[in-house]
């Protein structure tokens, strides 16, 4: 007995329409992504589910990187999600260098266009040094190992080419970012991460972390949550 395709369509067209709209929404407007690693600690931790605004910079054809309209560009401090061609996976990092910027790092301290960034609120947490990095008008939390700086803690100077961005993880000694994968093409960036929607503690039976639900990822908020923004301590001093 052959299936009655017309009847199947009639009975299920609303479900099909819903699925199509859901796929279009997730691929073009907004989505959430699971974060399996600690490369963005302390801002984003393992087990966070982050909300990604895919309309932050442009509108793309669903399920593609074809740009239909563009109304903005990533700025310093933005946490962006991108499909890395170099790593063949989706990554989340912080934009540090814009096209045309010249950057260098010495012992985990960043220089942008010759100027050393200011670091304040030095503290320790679980064997890490944590501080607030003042990325222009955008302070945000970052951390490094408490031992000697790693080889990746120094580079440059390098100049960011047109149409590309230099990105770093906030967990500087444990992040595969532009120091390893190179500059990120604008075409790979799919959106901006704005909130932690849910979070599960991988070290405690994957139980939810209620305190991280709908936590904003805006850099200033993250720095202020550490309570270390204005002590005036110079990182590396």
CATH number at residue 43: 2.10.109.10
Residue 28 a catalytic site member? no
Residue 25 lies in a domain: no
Residue 38 lies in a domain: yes
Residue 201 lies in a domain: yes
CB 183 within 8 A of CB 99: no
Q: What is the pLDDT of residue 233?
A: 33
Catalytic residue, chosen from 28, 39, 84, 178, is 39
DSSP notation for 183-223: PEEGGGEEEEEEEEEEEEETTTTTEE-GGGTTEE--HHHHH
Count of beta carbons in the 10 Å neighbourhood of residue 228: 18
Residue 165's domain comprises 32-226
**Which is more confident, 11 or 62?**
62
Q: What is the pLDDT of residues 124-133, one digit of tens each?
A: 888 889 999 9
Q: What is the pLDDT of residues 153-180, one digit of tens each?
A: 999 999 999 999 999 999 999 999 999 9
**Alpha-carbon gap, residue 42 to 215, rounded angstroms:** 13
- DSSP-based three-state secondary structure for 167: strand
Residue 180 lies in a domain: yes
Residue 93 a catalytic site member? yes
Indicate the DSSP class of residue 171.
B
Q: What is the pLDDT of residue 46?
A: 94
Catalytic residue, chosen from 28, 41, 93, 175, is 93
pLDDT band per the 50, 70, 90 thresholds, residue 65:
confident
Q: How many domains does the chain have?
A: 1
Taking residues 144-160, report their average pLDDT. 88
What whole-number percentage of the chain has pLDDT above 90? 58
């Amino acid at each position: 007995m052959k299936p009655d395709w017309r009847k199947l369509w009639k009975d299920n067209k609303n479900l099909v329409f819903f699925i199509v709209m859901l796929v279009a929404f997730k691929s073009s407007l907004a989505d959430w992504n699971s974060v399996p690693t600690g490369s963005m600690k302390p801002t984003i931790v393992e087990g966070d589910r982050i909300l990604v605004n895919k309309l932050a910079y442009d509108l793309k054809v669903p399920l593609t990187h074809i740009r239909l309209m563009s109304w903005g560009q990533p700025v310093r401090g933005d946490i962006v999600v991108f499909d890395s061609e170099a790593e063949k996976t989706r990554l989340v990092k912080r934009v540090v260098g814009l096209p045309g910027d010249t950057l260098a790092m010495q012992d985990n301290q960043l220089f942008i266009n010759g100027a050393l960034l200011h670091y304040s609120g030095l503290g320790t947490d679980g064997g890490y040094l944590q501080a607030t990095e003042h990325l222009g008008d955008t302070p945000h939390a970052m951390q490094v190992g408490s031992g000697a700086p790693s080889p990746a803690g120094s580079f440059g100077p390098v100049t960011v080419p047109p149409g590309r961005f230099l990105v770093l993880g906030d967990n500087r000694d444990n992040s595969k970012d532009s120091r390893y994968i190179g500059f990120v093409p604008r075409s790979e960036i799919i959106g901006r991460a704005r909130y932690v929607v849910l979070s599960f503690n991988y070290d405690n039976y994957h139980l939810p972390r209620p305190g991280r639900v709908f936590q904003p990822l805006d850099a200033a908020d993250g720095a202020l949550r550490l309570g270390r923004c204005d002590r005036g301590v110079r990182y590396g001093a």
